[in-house]
């Protein structure tokens, strides 16, 4: 018994279906499916992936029976199309074929295609006669020769292009379209000669010989270098193989009764439920998108809405329009999603070339999803699956009016979404001064540091010329919801001269610029913006989302403003309040510096005592805003040198303020300097050496909690010790916190439930999680730092070469944006398993930047985390991603 190697489709029927992806490939299965549901797709047949496997294993042989099956399939095509393949001597019609690859997984651009197959010196005449367009026929023929030469015979395309260029020069022609049928007729023998010279073989005139050569070329392309690299990077096994789709060519340019078009079953910009599309009479598909001719509207309504003058398809070919509108309904009923389809009308007959789920704006995605639930087409869970969580970002910030003109100076990294215009300032101090005068400012820096926090808070937008997606500027800006473009390397910022140069232009302080933090664009002047709308479909969907997800979503926030925004966006508590951010205010940092410059523990305690009231008030604010919800407070984390000034003038100011010598300040700064501060004296290491720092912070937390508890408020502080590498560190510092908590709470006579836990942000901590869980009451994975140490990659420095890695394809995603599941992820898994083995049911979350990345949220769900915590503006994204994860959706990466 011979196996079935070819599957036919077309003529209102199909051997295969959408379910047969593994055997027929993605493209093939889709063509069969369309044909199966009665759409008039150009008929064809699929040669299965099994044939590819046989071909690869035997290095070029085909299985028995294939030859006959292909012959039968072609005969069927000839019947459906009413024309012989390659044309017959007595026929006035001709069947041409396309040959395309189509693997199980999409491998865009990786493999080859041959069009117009079947043309030869005789067939081209038939085509000319049939279409009445000699130029079209000969142009098609030379395109076929060129494509066949390149793809099938391996003749580099520059050979043909050189010939063409010479010809144009000799005849003073500029564009390909300037060539006439006669010009092509002259060139074609030269093209054929090139092939013969390069291959030493005649160009095959026999259509069947052309077909088999093309099929073989597609199968061979499965094992070419480019495809192998792609498979290696995407984890696609070579054993899958590719299918080959052979399909009848149809032409929309066979006269005034022919046409071609592209359409969407609903409006892809707004989501409105009306037919939307464009077409051209007597044209090929590529003409619609090429922009040489202006396409016409599909429907009368569209024409009227757009106030257009060109006639719609509805008017020109009313019955075909009705047929197409029927196809629209068939498709939506079958695929239950908005479709993007291509059609061709060849001599009054409608052919559907392709259908796929249509790309749409986020606004449209929301509307379509909610509408389709109302229409009964899909259920709520399906609606939740339909919206890309990462795309919600577009809705949560003001955006640039897409129609407004823009004068782009440079494109940096889209570090924090949203758009902002403002006057240029070059220092945090200037930002505060200008803002206090009521000016909108954009702060431009080479990079930002914690000292710039004040200025960053008041700026409408932040621009840096260095640093990546997780640089200080980027992280802080995202936390604040302030638009930010980072690492705009083409821009030169001269902070002293207060100028910004790019593209040969120099802007000075006070000049207006506009940032688009969603695209990374930096523009000269003001560009109009549009405000976000969070009600309607958005609110409906988010309500459904919360009913589905089982992971909580918290926010990373420490200012009252951020905490309020977060709660407004639906955050279920704070997962990371960075207490050090509270020390940078002008009236506080002086005490912090006094503490750092102190000579002994008593002097340090005295300075800390001055910080206590501020810190206590911080916690009163945070715990009040988050009443009834948990607030995870991370004790001091950064190395102390981050709090000392760098500029001579500032050093002098501090020396005067604290009554010490400038040289004392400089000496201490020098003592504290580190080569690799990320791996230095920070986190819990500070408190092992200076326990009094955490003592003050613990006191501030529990005094604040006691104040609120006395006022009858439900407060839930969770104290988090950072950068633990060994349980011994946590043992000592937990003991310190618990002692102070018990002291304060018993002094005050109030009862506050609290817990003490740790960040797992070092590989060692993840490995030692079983031991650490003996002390830790909760874990929070600090995946920013964990990524840095697991990968040996500094997020402040890696921007430049990570970009090269991604350009060269060494790395697919930025591991600071989407969690590296193979490395960092394994440590998260290990840490979770070992932690819960020691302390069953332990509460575990994640508070790195990854908490707001959909793919990472999916991963967290799979690992079994209790919550994710992310910057306030990403809370809705995380909520949706968590719901999708609960529904089993594998989110795409957000990078």
- Binding interface with its own copies (CB under 8 A): 232-233, 674-681, 685, 688-689, 723, 725-726, 728-729, 731-732, 761-764, 767-768, 771, 785, 788-794, 796-798, 800-801, 804-805, 808, 810-811, 820, 822-824, 826-827
The four Cα atoms 380, 385, 389, 394 give a dihedral, to 10 degrees, of: -70
- Is 472 annotated in the active site? yes
| Nearest-approach distance from CB 442 to its own copies, in angstroms | 24
Euclidean distance between CA atoms 436 and 451, whole angstroms: 18
Catalytic residue among 847, 850, 860, 870: 847
| Residue closest to 500 by CA, chosen among 410, 428, 607 | 410
Measured from the CB of residue 728, what is the shortest distance to its own copies in angstroms?
Answer: 5
Query: Other CB atoms closer than 10 Å to residue 233's CB: what's the count?
Result: 12
- Whole-angstrom distance, CA of residue 135 vs CA of residue 177: 10
Q: Which is nearer to its own copies, 214 or 471 (CB)?
A: 471
Among residues 54, 397, 457, 472, which one is catalytic?
472
Report, in Å, the least distance between residue 448 CB and its own copies. 13
CB 674 to its own copies: min, Å: 4
Smallest separation, CB 411 to its own copies (Å): 19
d(CA 98, CA 143): 13
Shortest distance (Å) from residue 819 CB to its own copies: 12
Contacts of 661 (CB under 8 A, 6+ apart): 655
CA–CA distance, 104 with 477 (Å, rounded to integer) = 42
Helices (H), 691-759: 691-710, 727-748
Say if CB 257 and CB 348 are below 8 A apart.
Answer: yes
Residue 831 contacts residue 780 (beta carbons within 8 Å): no
State the Cα angle at 509 between 505 and 514, rounded to 5°.
Answer: 65
Contacts of residue 130, Cβ cutoff 8 Å, sequence gap at least 6: 92, 93, 94, 254
Token pair 């306030």 is found at 872
Tokens 């749409």, residue located: 360
Give the whole-angstrom CA distance, residue 376 versus residue 53.
43
| Distance, first Cα to last Cα, the chain | 50
Nearer to its own copies, 359 or 667 (CB): 667
From CA 449, how far away is CA 444, in angstroms rounded?
12
876 exposure class (CB count in 10 Å sphere: 0-12, 13-18, 19+): buried
- Residue 754 and residue 719 in contact, taking contact as beta carbons nearer than 8 Å: yes
Give least dist CB 50 to its own copies, A. 27
- Do 644 and 593 form a contact (C-beta atoms < 8 A)? yes
**Smallest Cα–Cα separation from 30: which of 40, 20, 43, 42?**
20
Helix (H) or strand (E) holding 9: strand 6-9
- Measured between alpha carbons, how far is 684 from 707 in angstroms, rounded to an integer? 27
From the list 708, 498, 718, the residue with the least C-alpha distance to 620 is 708
- Rounded distance, CA 863 to CA 846, Å? 11
Task: Give one DSSP letter per residue of 626-667, joined into a string.
Answer: TTTSEEEEE---S-GGGGS--SHHHHHHHHHHHT--HHHHHH
Angle made by CA atoms 511, 517, 518, in degrees to the nearest 5:
140
Of 147, 342, 322, give the one whose Cα is nearest residue 259: 342
**DSSP symbol at 891:** P
What the block records as the tokens of 810 is: 């060494």
Which CB sits closer to its own copies, 349 or 800? 800
Q: Which tokens belong to 14?
A: 């199909």
> Could you give the count of Cα atoms lying within 13 Å of 203 in the half-sphere of its Cβ?
26
Q: Decide whether 835 or 872 has the Cβ nearer to its own copies.
A: 835
Nearer to its own copies, 355 or 471 (CB): 471
Q: Which of 40, 13, 17 lies closest to 28 in space, CA to CA?
A: 17
Distances from the Cα of 69 to the Cαs of 2, 85, 243, in angstroms?
10, 16, 15
Contact 708, 702 (CB under 8 A): no
Indicate the residue among 167 and 731 with the shorter CB distance to its own copies: 731
Separation of alpha carbons 870 and 783, rounded Å: 11
Smallest separation (angstroms) from its own copies to the CB of 526: 32
Distance CA 667, CA 527 (A): 48
**Secondary structure of residue 300 in the 3-state scheme:** helix
Q: Is 641 a catalytic residue?
A: no
Which letter does DSSP use for residue 525 in this model?
A: S
Nearer residue to its own copies within complex by CB, 559 or 790: 790
Query: Which positions are annotated as active-site residues?
Result: 472, 847
């Amino acid at each position: 018994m011979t196996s079935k190697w070819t599957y036919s489709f077309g003529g209102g029927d199909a051997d295969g279906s959408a379910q047969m992806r593994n055997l027929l490939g993605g493209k093939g299965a889709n063509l069969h499916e369309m044909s199966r549901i009665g759409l008039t797709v150009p008929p064809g047949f699929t040669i299965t992936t099994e044939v590819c496997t046989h071909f690869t294993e035997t290095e070029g042989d085909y299985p028995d029976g294939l030859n006959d099956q292909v012959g039968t399939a072609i005969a069927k095509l000839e019947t459906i199309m009413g024309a012989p393949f390659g044309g017959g001597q007595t026929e006035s019609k001709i069947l041409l074929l396309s040959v395309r690859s189509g693997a199980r997984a999409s491998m865009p651009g990786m493999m080859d295609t041959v069009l117009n197959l079947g043309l030869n010196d005789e067939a081209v005449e038939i085509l000319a006669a049939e279409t009445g367009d000699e130029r079209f026929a000969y142009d098609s023929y030379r395109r076929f020769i060129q494509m066949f030469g390149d793809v099938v015979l391996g003749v580099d395309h520059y050979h043909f292009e050189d010939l063409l260029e010479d010809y144009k020069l000799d005849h003073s022609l500029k564009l390909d379209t300037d060539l006439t049928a006669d010009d092509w007729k002259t060139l074609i023998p030269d093209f054929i000669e090139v092939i013969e010279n390069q291959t030493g073989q005649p160009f095959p005139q026999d259509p069947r010989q052309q077909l088999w050569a093309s099929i073989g070329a597609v199968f061979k392309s499965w094992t070419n270098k480019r495809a192998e690299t792609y498979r290696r990077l995407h984890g696609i096994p070579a054993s899958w193989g590719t299918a080959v789709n052979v399909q009848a060519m149809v032409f929309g340019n066979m006269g005034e009764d022919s046409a071609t078009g592209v359409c969407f079953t609903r409006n892809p910009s707004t989501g409105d439920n009306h037919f939307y599309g464009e077409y051209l009479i007597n044209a090929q598909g590529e003409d619609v998108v090429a922009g040489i001719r202006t396409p016409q509207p599909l429907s009368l309504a569209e024409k009227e809405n757009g106030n257009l003058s060109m006639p719609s398809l509805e008017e020109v070919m009313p019955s075909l329009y009705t047929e197409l509108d029927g196809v629209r309904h068939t498709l939506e009923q079958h695929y239950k999603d908005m479709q993007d389809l291509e059609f061709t009308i060849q001599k009054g007959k409608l052919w559907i070339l392709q259908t796929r789920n249509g790309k749409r704006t986020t606004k449209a995605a929301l509307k379509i999803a909610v509408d389709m639930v109302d229409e009964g087409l899909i259920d709520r869970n399906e609606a939740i699956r339909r919206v890309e969580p990462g795309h919600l970002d577009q809705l949560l910030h003001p955006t640039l009016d897409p129609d407004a003109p823009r004068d782009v100076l440079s494109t940096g990294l889209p570090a924090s979404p949203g758009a902002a215009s403002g006057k240029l300032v070059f220092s945090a101090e200037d930002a505060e001064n200008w803002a206090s005068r009521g000016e909108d400012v954009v702060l431009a820096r080479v990079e930002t540091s914690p000292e710039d926090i004040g200025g960053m808070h008041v700026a409408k937008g932040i621009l840096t010329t260095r640093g990546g997606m997780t640089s200080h500027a980027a992280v802080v800006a995202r936390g604040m919801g302030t638009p930010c473009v980072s690492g705009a390397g083409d821009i030169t910022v001269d902070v002293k001269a207060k100028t910004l140069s790019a593209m040969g232009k120099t802007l000075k302080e006070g000049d207006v610029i506009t940032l688009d933090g969603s695209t990374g664009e930096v523009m000269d002047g003001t560009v109009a913006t549009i405000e976000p709308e969070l009600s309607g479909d958005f609110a409906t969907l988010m309500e459904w989302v919360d009913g589905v997800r089982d992971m909580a979503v918290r926010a990373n926030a420490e200012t009252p403003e951020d905490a309020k925004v977060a709660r407004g966006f639906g955050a279920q508590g704070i997962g990371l309040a960075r207490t050090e951010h509270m020390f940078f205010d002008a009236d506080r940092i002086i005490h912090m510096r006094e503490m750092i410059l102190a000579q002994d523990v008593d002097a340090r305690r005295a300075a800390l005592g001055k910080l206590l009231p501020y810190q206590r008030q911080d916690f009163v604010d945070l715990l009040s805003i988050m009443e009834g919800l948990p607030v995870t407070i991370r004790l001091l984390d950064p190395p102390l040198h981050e709090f000392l000034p760098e500029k001579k003038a500032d050093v002098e100011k501090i020396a005067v303020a604290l009554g010490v010598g400038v040289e004392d300040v400089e000496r201490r700064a020098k003592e504290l300097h580190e080569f690799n501060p990320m791996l230095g004296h920070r986190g819990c290491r500070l408190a092992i050496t200076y326990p009094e720092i955490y003592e003050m912070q613990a006191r501030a937390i529990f005094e604040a909690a006691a104040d609120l508890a006395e006022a009858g408020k439900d407060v839930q502080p969770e104290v988090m010790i950072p950068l633990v590498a060994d349980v011994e560190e946590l043992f000592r510092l937990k003991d310190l916190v618990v002692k102070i908590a018990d002291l304060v709470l018993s002094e005050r006579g109030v009862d506050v439930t609290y817990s003490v836990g740790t960040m797992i942000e070092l590989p060692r901590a993840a490995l030692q999680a079983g031991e650490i869980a003996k002390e830790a009451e909760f874990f929070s994975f600090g995946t920013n730092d964990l990524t840095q140490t697991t990968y040996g990659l500094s997020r402040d420095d890696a921007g430049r070469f990570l970009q090269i890695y991604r350009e060269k394809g060494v790395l697919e995603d930025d591991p600071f944006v989407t969690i590296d599941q193979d490395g960092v992820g394994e440590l998260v898994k290990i840490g979770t398993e070992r932690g819960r083995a020691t302390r069953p049911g332990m509460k575990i979350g994640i508070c790195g930047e990854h908490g707001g990345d959909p793919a990472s949220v999916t991963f967290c769900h799979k690992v079994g985390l209790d919550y994710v915590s992310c910057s306030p503006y990403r809370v809705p994204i995380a909520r949706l991603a968590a719901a999708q994860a609960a529904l089993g959706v594998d989110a795409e990466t957000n990078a």
